[in-house]
Amino acid sequence: MISERERNGAPTENVALVTGASRGVGRGIALGLLAAGFRVYGSGRSIDQADLPRGIRRLRCDHLKDDQTARVFETIRSECGRLDLLVNCAWGGYEKMVEGGVFTWPAPFWDQPPHRWTGMMDAGVRAAFVCSAHAARMMTPRGRGVIVHISFWSAQRHLGNTIYGVAKAATDKMTSDMAVELKQFAVPVISLYPGLVRTEAVLAAAKSGGFDLSTSESPEFIGRVINALFHDANLMARTGQVLVAAAVAKELGVLDIDGSSPPALTLADLGLEG
């Protein structure tokens, strides 16, 4: 659907939806895109209580519930008539990491609590699939749009636990296959790997000596990288690929909010090489 403003040649803001924008990386992406001039919609279960500026349109949504997800896209369609960028950042599985006094996150797959599968595969991978389907229905008629899935290195090697790896590997495979089907419509799809991001949880852990933040990234940095990719004239050449945010930033000249250039982490840096 092409808006009346587009038909008349009037300038329009690029419209972005960031799922999971209540906190962490999702919140940072929403802030980064807002600063870059996007009209930003942020969705999440606790979005109404999120620390976000008024410029971000909050859409309360539990992405485990398809009817609520559908309403998010209906709202964007009715208010804007189009969607230019979808960033799938909604994720689950980090809840209840300690149960009965036991830290279950690194447990072998046979000792993992069942809710972690639901959190990562349903609230994460399935939610991204459903949102992407809605986005594709809005983007393909216009032959314009970008879909970004936030993923991580656990897709490449064992990191944390088996469910985490399965979920991120599924995200990367979803990226490559969606890219094949959307290529004829000039809608690129990418998986983007953040580095060590200074989310609320990471900052809290750092205070207790759990993390060295010297090579970390601000949450807004990922939003800056996505903005640069969105405006990259050669973005279709990257469709279906897994990209490391910090490496893309160096290539496209993107700096963090403090003017730094975060290093691009590798499997070796994570102790996962080989």
Q: Which two tokens stand for residue 141?
A: 């008629």
Its domain, for residue 184, covers 4-252
Distance CA 4, CA 10 (A): 9
Is 268 contained in some domain?
no
Q: How many domains does the chain have?
A: 1
Q: Is residue 193 among the annotated active site residues? A: no
pLDDT at 149: 98
Exposed/middle/buried for residue 51 (C-beta within 10 Å: 0-12, 13-18, 19+): exposed
Is 274 contained in some domain?
no
Is 260 contained in some domain?
no
pLDDT at 4: 47
Q: Which two tokens stand for residue 6?
A: 């587009």
According to DSSP, residue 248 is labeled H
The residue from 41, 94, 164, 193 that is catalytic is 164
Is 271 contained in some domain?
no
Q: Residue 74 contacts by C-beta under 8 Å, 6 or more apart in sequence?
A: none
pLDDT at 269: 67
Q: Which two tokens stand for residue 189?
A: 């799809």
C-alpha count within 13 angstroms, C-beta hemisphere, residue 3: 20
- Of 190, 161, 153, the closest CA to residue 174 belongs to 190
pLDDT at 1: 38
Is 104 contained in some domain?
yes
Stated pTM of the model: 0.92
Q: Which two tokens stand for residue 182?
A: 């959307």
274 residues of the chain, pLDDT tens digit each? 344 444 444 447 899 999 999 998 999 999 999 999 999 999 999 999 999 999 999 999 999 999 999 999 999 999 999 999 999 999 887 778 888 888 898 999 999 999 999 999 999 999 999 999 999 999 999 999 999 999 998 898 998 899 999 999 999 999 999 999 999 999 999 999 998 878 777 776 667 666 677 778 889 999 999 999 999 999 999 999 999 999 999 999 999 999 999 988 776 766 655 5
**Any idea what the CATH number is for the domain that residue 80 is in?**
3.40.50.720
Is 263 contained in some domain?
no
Q: What angle do CA 126, 162, 90 make, to 5 degrees?
A: 30
pLDDT at 5: 43
CB atoms within 10 A of CB 109: 12
- When the pLDDT of each residue in the chain is averaged and rounded to a whole number, the result is 90
Where does 112-211 have alpha helices with state H? Answer: 114-117, 127-139, 162-182, 200-207
Is 29 contained in some domain?
yes
Dihedral of the CA atoms 31, 35, 38, 40 (nearest 10)?
Answer: 20
Is 233 contained in some domain?
yes
Place of tokens 């996505």: 226
pLDDT (tens digit, 9 = 90+) per residue, 188-239? 999 999 988 787 777 766 676 666 777 788 899 999 999 999 999 999 999 9
pLDDT at 178: 98
Distance CA 185, CA 166 (A): 29
